[in-house]
Structure 1
Amino acid sequence: MTCMKELDWKILIVLYEKRSISKTAEALYLTQSAVTKRLKNIETEWGINVIHRSNQGVTFTEDGIYLTQKASIMMDFLREIREHYAQRECQKEVLTVGIPNSFSRLHFPEALSKYIECFDRLDIRLIPSSSEVVLQKLMDGSVDIGFVCGDYPYLGEKEPLMDENLYLLVPAGMPLDEVERQPFIQWKMNPLVEMIRDQWWKSQYGGLPHQSYQVPFADIAIEMVEKGLGVTTLFGDKWRIDHEKAQLIQTYDEQGNKVSRKVWMMLSDRCFQNPDISDFVSLIEEYFGVNK
């Protein structure tokens, strides 16, 4: 088995090109004596003469030419091995996460940043969808972890992450007795959470809100409220709001309790079979203060 190092093969290739010990040493940032010593080791290992030296420079022997030709093959071979293991090192276990729009905007970026800072051993792929679709994907195996807003039934392992309060968003300075008469801006919520909102509204105003606008995302509804086009409701108080143009009002039920929805992390069996995924789950639990 050859004891030649990668540097030995490089020396042969560069020396064949330069035909000069001094220029080879300069190109490889070595001393001339180091190049000469390694050439001698090569010749000893194979029992051959690699070069002849003369006043005209370096001349390669027939054996030297053969070995130099193989040097290019060896360098390609070593580069292929290096790239193979480098690629394998970069390949991370894929974790698919189902996540509703509001949770992905308000809470997940900071939690993900914390995970990357502490571990960063997973290729996390987000599957955005509504909570009921996230739950369906979790049950059919399309996602490994699902973040779900509302008390949906799930027979697998799940963790309550937080209670997210319901707020009324109205134009700044609007008297509360005018809210009921304002156009209501409806953005897409899952049916279970929408029911919480509707029950609160009915308890306050005696009926369901009179929908005037329907938009896909809460961000659009917020902007419309800021422009004085109506009122809307939001779960959570971390939305980007211009408080000079709109105000958040906490909602309460008839018993004086804050109206809220529960946010869950629901786990597939795979979460307990992979230590890297378990680390991700533990970090999310720690971030949201689960079991504290």
Structure 2
Amino acid sequence: MNERDWLILKTLYEKKNITKTAESLYVSQPSITKRIQQIEQEYGRTLVVRGTKGVQFTPEGEYLAKCADEMLERLYHIKDQVLNIGLEVSGTLRLGVSNYITRHKLPLLLKLFGERFPKVNYKVSTGWSRDVFNLAYNQEVHVGIVRGDYNWSGPKHLLFEEKLCVVSKEYVGLHELPFMPRIEYETDNLLKTTIDNWWTGTFSQPPLLGMEVDKADTCKEMVLNGLGYGILPSVLIENHDDLYLINLEDESGNPLVRRTWLLYREETLQSKAANEFVQFVRTIDFKNSL
């Protein structure tokens, strides 16, 4: 079995679905099915069966799937060690990055880093900050970039912080919010909890939900068109002087902020590519230069 086989087993065990596994690994469903069959032939055992609830693993298959994390980590470590033997910074840098940073910051960041270290390749995993945190915690990526204050025991570096604010096209008084249509959007649980706690500590009635959208960028566009107000991180609306803002504050009058962090482990720095990336990110003005 090679690295790809272990990754297929790991992902299929997590997703319990051939289609979702294929989408996650950017391969076709028949390719996944064929490779599973080849692995089964190699071991002479049935590893997975399809049922009404999706893919189910046999005891043999479950054992191999649980070995996948250890095997992949070992393979990644071997690659890093081999690539570090030479003087050049090269190899694959595995990054976990939150959705917003991926869309708005990461392309230019990798362009600038790539100009300095052109032989580094990238494997980028994106998602909600909680998902990225888990990738970094399980050492599936060298470095994670998350938005929010997660309980991380390893080294971390503050990239920037932003205020949370009520955003509207027309002036709205704070006392009017419960009676105005609010545009809700999908976000990670940490930010949602912060906003919900602020609301319940400020008002006695629930918000009037006028619309639900997929992400904060969409919410901003709806606000720009006067369809309601949103509660957004300030970084999304810094270039919109035509919008009205009310900064959220806690019970002591301190502004509520959302911080963006670079997370990694000390052993990560054994990889030259990861070490150079961490040092590079620490030297730039992440908020204003990207």
Q: Which of 114, 123, 126 in structure 2 is aligned with 1:125?
A: 123
Aligned residue number for residue 29 of structure 2: none
Q: Which of 260, 263, 266 in structure 2 is aligned with 1:263?
A: 260
TM norm structure 2: 0.60
Aligned residue number for residue 152 of structure 1: 150
Q: How does 1:100-115 map to 2 (within 5 A)?
A: 100-115=98-113
Aligned residue number for residue 275 of structure 1: 272
* Distance verdict in 2 for CA 1:254–1:106, change over 3 Å: farther
Contact kept, 8 Å, 2:187 with 2:216, in 1: the verdict is no
Q: How does 1:48-127 map to 2 (within 5 A)?
A: 92-127=90-125
Give me the whole-angstrom Cα distance separating, in 2, the residues matched to 1:152 and 1:208: 27
Paired residues in the alignment total 199
Q: CA deviation at 1:248?
A: 3.2
* Distance verdict in 2 for CA 1:247–1:138, change over 3 Å: same
Contact kept, 8 Å, 1:253 with 1:259, in 2: the verdict is yes
Contact kept, 8 Å, 2:90 with 2:273, in 1: the verdict is no
**Aligned residues: percent identity?**
26
Contact kept, 8 Å, 1:160 with 1:262, in 2: the verdict is yes
Q: CA deviation at 1:180?
A: 2.6
Aligned residue number for residue 171 of structure 2: 173
* Distance verdict in 2 for CA 1:121–1:249, change over 3 Å: farther
Give me the whole-angstrom Cα distance separating, in 2, the residues matched to 1:160 and 1:265: 6
User: Which protein is bigger by CA-based radius of gyration?
Assistant: 1
Give me the whole-angstrom Cα distance separating, in 1, the residues matched to 2:204 and 2:196: 10
Q: CA deviation at 1:270?
A: 5.1
* Distance verdict in 2 for CA 1:212–1:172, change over 3 Å: closer
Give me the whole-angstrom Cα distance separating, in 2, the residues matched to 1:275 and 1:99: 20
Give me the whole-angstrom Cα distance separating, in 1, the residues matched to 2:187 and 2:93: 25
* Distance verdict in 2 for CA 1:220–1:240, change over 3 Å: farther
Give me the whole-angstrom Cα distance separating, in 2, the residues matched to 1:147 and 1:227: 31
Q: CA deviation at 1:92?
A: 4.3
* Distance verdict in 2 for CA 1:274–1:164, change over 3 Å: same
Q: Which of 211, 215, 218 in structure 2 is aligned with 1:217?
A: 215
Contact kept, 8 Å, 2:90 with 2:117, in 1: the verdict is no
Aligned residue number for residue 9 of structure 1: none
Aligned residue number for residue 84 of structure 2: none
TM norm structure 1: 0.60
The residue type equivalent to 1:96 in the other structure is R
Q: CA deviation at 1:120?
A: 3.5
